């Protein structure tokens, strides 16, 4: 693990793979950390210099006063690229990470080679969904995070996967329970306020959108909307719930590799 010193704290990151390979940045979902990508690292680091980081408010990264914005979180990515002297990189983000990817595609497309957004939408939920959750987490703290962990199992994974892979489910959902309540609530604010529905056409970099057919958090309709709005965008759908990279594993990893290595 390594740390980048930002003006208001540190950003935790990890690099894997050949030093001079093309860089692939991975951005975690709300309530997880960079280890949500563990199943992909071996396959992807055979082709890329894999740069994972904990989004502000998560894992070993800084927790600052919220609410955050997707612009702020995208700025953290650009600061990380600048600090590591990375002029261009591929980017893959899931859920909230997919929102960050959309922001980068719209506002900093020149820094991207190819973009993958997974289990996400141009607009995720509404204030009626997010505000009560923010209030609960700020009021009840760690107890609320434990409650969210238990509730997340059915949102993040299909019942079939949860029943046959309980250790995997526990490993991922424990990340949510360990997340800072302040950081989680601040990121909920960022997701609540993000809306790229009218700006997706500004994304000009090659784009792959991945959805899970059993994803109730960000259904395939949201992924298809992104694909329809971005010229030349590709679309893939797997039998999975919200964390399709964990649930599907190797097929997910291979589809992303094929896209990123395409000529």
CA gap 217, 56 in Å, rounded: 22
Compute the C-alpha angle 115/53/95, nearest 5°. 50
Position 98 pLDDT exceeds 80: yes
Position 100 pLDDT exceeds 80: yes
Rounded average pLDDT over 77-99: 98
Q: pLDDT (tens digit, 9 = 90+) per residue, 222-253?
A: 999 999 999 999 999 999 999 999 999 999 99
Position 263 pLDDT exceeds 90: no
For residue 206, what pLDDT is reported?
Answer: 98
Q: pLDDT (tens digit, 9 = 90+) per residue, 212-224?
A: 999 999 999 999 9
Contact in structure between 119 and 242 (CB atoms under 8 Å): yes
End-to-end CA distance of the chain: 33
Which residues, at least 6 apart from 204, have a Cβ–Cβ distance to it below 8 Å?
A: 105, 109, 231
> Which pLDDT band holds residue 32 (cuts at 50, 70, 90)?
very high
C-alpha dihedral, 218 to 219 to 225 to 228, nearest 10°: 120
CA gap 24, 159 in Å, rounded: 31
For residue 1, what pLDDT is reported?
Answer: 77
Rounded average pLDDT over 170-194: 97
- Enter the pTM of the model: 0.97
CA gap 81, 23 in Å, rounded: 10
Strand partners, 24: 50, 90
Position 168 pLDDT exceeds 80: yes
CA gap 105, 91 in Å, rounded: 9
Position 116 pLDDT exceeds 80: yes
Rounded average pLDDT over 182-197: 98
All structural domains of the chain with their residue ranges: 2-261
Which residues, at least 6 apart from 93, have a Cβ–Cβ distance to it below 8 Å?
A: 26, 27, 28, 99, 100, 101, 116, 117, 118, 120
Coil, strand or helix at 191: helix
Position 65 pLDDT exceeds 80: yes
Contact in structure between 54 and 9 (CB atoms under 8 Å): no
> Which pLDDT band holds residue 84 (cuts at 50, 70, 90)?
very high
Rounded average pLDDT over 37-45: 97
Rounded average pLDDT over 92-109: 98
* Domain 2-261, CATH: 3.40.50.1820
Rounded average pLDDT over 167-192: 97
Which residues, at least 6 apart from 24, have a Cβ–Cβ distance to it below 8 Å?
A: 44, 48, 49, 50, 51, 89, 90, 91, 92, 260
CA gap 173, 247 in Å, rounded: 13
Rounded average pLDDT over 88-111: 98
Cβ of 2: how many Cβ atoms within 10 Å?
11
Of the chain, the percentage scoring pLDDT greater than 90 comes to 97
For residue 212, what pLDDT is reported?
Answer: 98
Q: What DSSP character marks residue 209?
A: E
Mean pLDDT across the chain = 97
Rounded average pLDDT over 56-71: 96
Cβ of 171: how many Cβ atoms within 10 Å?
14
Q: Which two tokens stand for residue 203?
A: 């994304």
Higher pLDDT, 6 or 49: 49
Rounded average pLDDT over 25-43: 97
């Amino acid at each position: 693990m390594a740390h980048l010193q930002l003006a208001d704290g540190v950003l935790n990151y990890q690099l894997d793979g050949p030093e001079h390979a093309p860089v692939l940045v991975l951005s975690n979902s709300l309530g997880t950390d960079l280890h949500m990508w563990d199943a992909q690292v071996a396959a992807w680091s055979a082709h890329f210099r894999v740069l994972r980081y904990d989004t502000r408010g998560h894992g070993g990264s800084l927790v600052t006063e919220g609410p955050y914005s997707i612009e702020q979180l995208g700025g953290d990515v650009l600061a990380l690229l600048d600090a590591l002297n990375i002029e261009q990189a591929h980017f893959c983000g899931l859920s909230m990470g997919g929102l960050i990817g959309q922001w980068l595609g719209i506002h900093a497309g020149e820094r991207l080679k190819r973009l993958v957004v997974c289990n996400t939408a141009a607009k995720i939920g509404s204030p009626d969904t997010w505000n009560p959750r923010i209030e609960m987490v700020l009021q009840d703290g760690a107890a609320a995070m434990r409650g969210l962990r238990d509730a997340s199992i059915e949102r993040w994974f299909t019942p079939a996967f949860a029943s046959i892979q309980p250790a995997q489910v526990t490993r991922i959902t424990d990340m949510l329970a360990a997340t800072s309540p302040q950081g989680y609530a601040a990121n909920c604010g960022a997701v609540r306020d993000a809306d790229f529905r009218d700006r997706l056409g500004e994304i000009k970099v090659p784009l792959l959108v991945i959805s899970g057919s059993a994803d109730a958090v960000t259904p395939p309709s949201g992924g298809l909307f992104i694909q329809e709005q971005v010229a030349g965008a590709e679309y893939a759908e797997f039998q999975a719930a919200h964390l399709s990279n964990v649930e599907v594993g190797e097929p997910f990893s291979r589809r992303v590799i094929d896209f990123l290595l395409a000529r």
